[in-house]
Amino acid sequence: MSDSVIRLQSAGADIIIKTRPFAEIFYWGPHLAHFSPQAVLSLDRPIANSRLDVDIPLTLMAEAGHGLFGSPGIEGHRQGLDGSPLFKTTDVSHRAQTLTITSEDAVAGLRLCSEIALDESGVLTVRHGLTNLRQQPWQVERLAVTLPVAGRARDVMAFHGRWTREFQPHRLRLDHDSYVLESRRGRSSHEHFPALIVGSEAFSEMRGDVWGVHLGWSGNHRLRAEVKTDGRRYLQAEALYLPGEVALGEGETLWTPHLYASYSAAGLNGMSQQFHRYLRQQIIRFPDKKPRPVHLNTWEGIYFNHSPAYIMRMAEEAASLGVERFIIDDGWFKGRNDDRAGLGDWYLDEAKYPQGLTPVIDRVKALGMEFGIWVEPEMINPDSDLYRAHPDWVLAMPGYPQHAARNQLVLDLSNPDVFSYLVERMSWLLGEHAIDYVKWDMNRELVQPGHQGRAAADAQTRCYYRLLETLRQRFPHIEFESCASGGGRIDYEVLKRCHRFWPSDNNDALERCTIQRGMSYFFPPEVMGAHIGPQQCHVTFRQHDIAFRGLTALFGHLGLELDPLNVSEAEREGYRRYAALYKQWRGLIHSGTQWRLDMPDATTQAQGIVSRDSGQALFMVSQLAMPDYTLMMPLRLAGLAPDAQYRLSLVDHPNLGLTGAGGHTMRKFPAWMTSEVTASGEWLMQAGIALPILDPESAILIGVERI
């Protein structure tokens, strides 16, 4: 058996796969310094009484035909026939850390190609391609990637959410059956971010074995953590197909989306750091590698109320505050005075912009900023010229009513006329104007998505990718943001085609602490839009001072989401301060290693970013609510070089700078805040630093510098 056993290895994690007669993962865990293939015999299983008389493998394709009795990885049929495939390996190709296994089921007439690669970051990518070898179509009901995890992976962590409350983590213990999350909303969704994490009991940010997976797919999906009755555990992820949606003709291949997986022996931080490293090396591409510019997005400043003269004044003020990219949001195109009309009519609203967009763009550029604009190409308002001319262009099932959401319907991108119209209109916009940036929105879910009577959610997602790709190819210098009412379309597959995400329409700094932390499990700060919103949040109506808002936006891609003309000078001074602080530190924030720290008090959140050479770091402590204890416990830092000496500094503080009195909860600051304190990295990570007592909804920023 040993010659069919293949190991893929990285510095932190290994995966060991038996390839013949069928593929089976034997091990996915810490890197092994002493491994020989015959060792896998130690895992040879007994055969239990009262079950099948043969061993029941949990194969790479998790076919039911082996006696799996769990959720299979493949389901489908050929008009009721060929519906129980079992694959046998026909070819194995192994190069460096990539393994490709081809297998076939000669009875069912199907071929499977499984690609497994372990990146040097430690991230494993897996996908399957299923090919129909017969003339009659094979109807695909399900095609999933299945990854077994160790028996100690008993705790599950997943994310729930909703509009304005994305990336909310929750935990559960899974001892039997399954935990399943599904999005049937036609996008990765606010509600069911396509990821699952399992780990050893009570795994935390710093401790425990953790296996995390993310499905790179922007459409319907299903993820599952399952415990078989024999105790074996696995993770499974797939694009979710609606009835009749995918049929493979002869020779046609259906690829699953990529499943990205990261194992860490050092808690959630290790998992996230591997994902971040992978994205930075393999997926994220910024034109000219330029630093992430400070944004001003007009949405919460003026909504649909566009006047070029006023917008130019906003731009002037923005430039004086340190803004580097100015983005005009919704409201610039024909008939778009509110959210009831205009989508689809991608022509300039000449009533609002009688001289065209160019004077505004020129002014923005003359002020030294880039210019960006908002679009929502996939949508149509019934109150639009486009709908009046082409009511049949809507994504719908004939014979059923289509319900509007935010007063809009969805365009059927599988219709070639729709697709060409959008390419033509977007090319007009992006080709005839000096646009550097596009915020691409998608503000409703798909309900009964149909093309010529057939379900078309999967096709819609694929066409969306194709549309974006077509425009990216035509306009390679333009950066794109993926937004879907905030964080409704955030995943690795769309990240291959965009440069930034809008995580939430909620700019309340307190809410953002949880949303952004949730997003950080899978995404690094440089792709996470984080804007300073108005003093009184438009979603929650909470008020926060500029220090809390500014600091909360710092560990992301910072921007402003407000009208800078309509605020006090003190507010403006704050924007200037945090734009400057961001510019000073963005090099570190967008390249360093991110750490979320375990805190003894759930009212406090702490995170840090440490430079790759461990020479410099920033740590932020955010006080979410009234502290549980009178004194905060010392903050144990992370990621420093144990043997190096570091100097601590207070980079930003809500009270100290403003009143000099340290608020009303303390008589004396911790010593390091007022006098020089140096200590070794080891001391700072093991013993830590005393924290000031913070008011609820405030934060401090601590600098750490190697001496």
Which residues lie near ligand DGJ (CB under 6 A)? 299, 329-330, 374, 441, 443, 483, 485-486, 502, 505
Is 496 annotated to bind a ligand? Reply is: no
Question: Which CB, 329 or 652, lies closer to ligand DGJ?
Answer: 329
Q: Is 442 one of the annotated binding-site residues?
A: yes
Question: Strand (E) positions, 452-574?
Answer: 454-455, 479-482, 500-501, 529-532, 557-560
Closest by CA position to 214, among listed 260, 169, 147, 246: 260
In angstroms, what CA-CA distances link 431 with 96, 293, 328, 346, 434?
43, 22, 17, 13, 7
Burial class from Cβ neighbours inside 10 Å (0-12, 13-18, 19+) for residue 201 reads: exposed
**Complex with ligand DGJ: residue 198 or 527, whichever CB lies closer:** 527
Nearest residue to ligand DGJ, scored by beta-carbon proximity = 330
Please give the Cα distance from 614 to 165 (Å, whole number): 34
The runs of H, that is alpha helices, within 128-167 are none
172 alpha carbon, distance to own chain's centre: 22
Q: Which is nearer to ligand DGJ, 72 or 529 (CB)?
A: 529
Q: Judge whether 443 is annotated as a binding position.
A: yes
Residue 349 falls in the annotated catalytic set: no
Nearest CB to ligand DGJ, comparing residues 168 and 236: 168
Return d(Cα 23, Cα 102) in angstroms, integer.
9
Q: Which residues, in sequence order, are CB contacts of 106 under 8 Å at separation 6+?
A: none
Shortest separation between residue 481's beta carbon and ligand DGJ, angstroms: 10
Q: Is 228 annotated as a binding residue?
A: no
Minimum Å gap between C-beta 6 and ligand DGJ is 45
Is 406 assigned a ligand-binding role in the annotation?
Answer: yes
441 is catalytic: yes
Q: Which structure tokens are listed for 399?
A: 């014979």
Q: Report the b/e string of 229-262 with b at 16+ CB within 10 A.
A: eeebbbbbbbbbbbeebbbbeeeeebebbbbbbb
Instruction: Name the active-site residue from 441, 458, 563, 652.
Output: 441
Tell me how far, at minimum, the Cβ of 376 lies from ligand DGJ, in Å: 7
Q: Identify which of residues 210 and 483 has a Cβ nearer to ligand DGJ in the complex.
A: 483
Q: How far is CA 31 from CA 13, 27, 205, 453, in A?
A: 4, 10, 20, 51
* CB closer to ligand DGJ, 159 vs 502: 502
96 C-beta neighbours (distance < 10 Å), count: 9
H-type helices in 279-374, by residue range?
A: 299-302, 308-321, 358-366
Cβ at position 217, least distance to ligand DGJ in Å: 21
- How far apart are alpha carbons 434 and 359 in whole angstroms? 11
> In this structure, which amino acid lies at residue 346?
W
Q: Of 105, 505, 508, 695, which one is the catalytic site residue? A: 505
Name the minimum Å distance from CB 299 to ligand DGJ.
5
Sequence letter at residue 130: L
The answer to whether the annotation marks 362 as part of a ligand binding site is no
The answer to the question of whether 428 is labelled as a binding residue is no
Angle at 159 between CA 157 and CA 165, to 5 degrees: 150
**d(Cα 399, Cα 117) in Å, to the nearest integer?**
46
Least Å from the CB of residue 138 to ligand DGJ: 40
The annotation status of 672 as a binding-site residue, yes or no, is: no
Name residue 271's beta-bridge partners.
Answer: none
Q: Smallest gap, in angstroms, from Cβ of residue 303 to ligand DGJ?
A: 8
CB nearer to ligand DGJ: pick between 303 and 419: 303
Is 329 labeled as ligand-binding? yes
Residue numbers annotated as active site: 441, 505
* Residue ranges of the binding site for substrate: 163, 329-330, 406, 439-443, 483, 505
Residues making up the binding site? 163, 329-330, 406, 439-443, 483, 505
